[in-house]
């Protein structure tokens, strides 16, 4: 068994550990509630960047704040301090050791932002640079392809948002999430595995928080299987890129039961009617290969079981294509950008 598969299967327990830190999460949320920022900057790269996209959607939607992606190079390469007084600056990182993220965070704090590290390494340099630290508690992860740390980072964002906003429905759904992740590991996504083995490129689509999941899937396709994954919002794909979709350029959709579902459904149905192979989690329809999901619970938490099922399908596809999902060529576990 590959490390990627083993660690993906550990996601349920990793998320359970993360969510068990109720007092720590509540303390951070209370500080943020008192701080009451109008602007939140989220700083991250790679898979952590997708967890950051997920968090930005949650905060913008549920709190009405301006939630933007930081540009770390402004600090680390161009040495420009931004006007961040009164802002919340959240940095998400598995290792907490990427130099550009550390520099950007230090500069944000010096500029007057309240800084929060969401990390799997609470003793890291990034954590030391921040006033607040939230440990995702995912445990050691050895495969280059991150799985359980991504899911724990997503869960940490959900827990922080639900506690900050007092969202009792989401809080209750989070308590059920670990068991649902475990159930999602048993689902049969072999039709998607077979398709990934067949092609060299694939669109992944989502809407709202689902865009973060689609982006993470696209990265993992490239990283582990060698398939060029291109992630788009289902609102953006029609603006030109959809002309590439066709028999050898399939589409994978991640769907949740919220305001974005109807538009995504219409897009995927239209693509399928025009001969594009369409695979969808959380959606059935004519010409669409419906990938099994656990029963719907909450639109935001439903996306995480879809992601763990995808991880296992991608891992199987990587091996079928003769690739080692634990050691993608040219990559290391910790990417240190400057």
pLDDT of 138-155, one tens digit each?
999 999 999 999 999 999
In this structure, are residues 100 and 338 in contact, taking their beta carbons and an 8 Å threshold?
yes
In this structure, are residues 119 and 84 in contact, taking their beta carbons and an 8 Å threshold?
no
Structural domains in the chain plus CATH codes: 3-183 (3.40.50.10490), 188-320 (3.40.50.10490)
d(CA 311, CA 173) in angstroms, rounded, equals: 22
pLDDT of 69-85, one tens digit each?
999 999 999 999 999 99
Q: Answer whether residue 282 shows pLDDT above 90.
A: no
Q: How confident is the model at residue 286 (pLDDT cuts 50, 70, 90)?
A: confident
Average pLDDT over residues 85-100: 97
Q: To the nearest whole percent, how much of the chain has pLDDT over 70?
A: 98
pLDDT of 236-250, one tens digit each?
999 999 999 999 999
Sort 45 into a burial class: Cβ within 10 Å, 0-12 / 13-18 / 19+.
middle
Find, among 100, 94, 241, 234, the residue nearest to 154 by Cα.
94
In this structure, are residues 173 and 155 in contact, taking their beta carbons and an 8 Å threshold?
no
DSSP string for 69-110: E--HHHHHTT------TT-EEEEEESSS--HHHHHHHHHHHH
Angle between helices 299-320 and 190-198 (to 10 degrees): 50
Q: Answer whether residue 25 shows pLDDT above 90.
A: yes
pLDDT of 320-338, one tens digit each?
999 999 988 877 656 667 6
Amino acid 40: pLDDT: 98
pLDDT of 179-236, one tens digit each?
999 999 999 999 999 999 999 999 999 999 999 999 999 999 999 999 999 999 999 9
Cα→Cα distances 282→124, 191, 217, 242, 288, Å = 38, 15, 15, 21, 11
Token digits of residue 81 = 């301090």
Q: Average pLDDT of the chain?
A: 96
Grouping H, G, I as helix, E, B as strand and the rest as coil, residue 177 is helix
d(CA 258, CA 234) in angstroms, rounded, equals: 14
Structure letter (DSSP) for residue 246:
B
């Amino acid at each position: 068994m590959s490390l990627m598969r083993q660690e993906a299967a550990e996601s349920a327990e990793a998320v359970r550990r993360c969510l068990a830190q109720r007092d720590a999460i509540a303390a951070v949320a209370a500080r943020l509630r008192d701080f009451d920022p109008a602007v939140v900057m989220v700083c991250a790269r790679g898979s952590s960047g997708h967890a950051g996209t997920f968090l930005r959607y949650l905060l913008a939607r549920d709190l009405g704040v301006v939630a933007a992606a930081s540009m770390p190079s402004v600090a680390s390469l161009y040495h420009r301090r931004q006007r961040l007084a009164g802002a919340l600056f959240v940095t998400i990182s598995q290792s907490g050791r990427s130099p550009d993220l550390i520099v950007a965070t230090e500069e944000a704090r010096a500029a007057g932002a309240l800084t929060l590290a969401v990390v799997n390494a609470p003793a890291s340099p990034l954590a030391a640079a921040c006033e607040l630290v939230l440990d995702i508690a995912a445990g050691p992860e050895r495969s280059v392809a991150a799985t359980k740390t991504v899911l724990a980072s997503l869960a940490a964002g959900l827990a922080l948002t639900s506690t900050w906003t007092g969202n009792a429905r989401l809080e209750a759904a989070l308590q059920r999430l670990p068991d649902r992740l475990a159930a999602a590991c048993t689902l049969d996504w072999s039709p998607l595995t077979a398709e990934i083995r067949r092609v060299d490129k694939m669109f992944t689509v989502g809407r709202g928080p689902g865009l973060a999941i689609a982006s993470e899937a696209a990265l993992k396709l490239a990283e582990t299987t060698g398939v060029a994954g291109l992630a788009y919002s289902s609102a953006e794909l029609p603006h030109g890129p959809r002309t590439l979709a066709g028999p050898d350029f399939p589409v994978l959709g991640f769907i949740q039961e919220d305001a974005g579902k109807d538009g995504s459904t219409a897009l995927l149905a239209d693509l399928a009617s025009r001969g594009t192979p369409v695979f969808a989690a959380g959606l059935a329809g004519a010409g669409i290969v419906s990938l099994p999901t656990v029963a719907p619970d909450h639109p935001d938490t439903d996306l995480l079981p879809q992601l763990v099922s995808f991880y296992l399908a991608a891992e199987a596809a990587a091996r079928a294509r003769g690739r080692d999902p634990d050691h993608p060529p040219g990559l290391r576990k910790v990417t240190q950008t400057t």
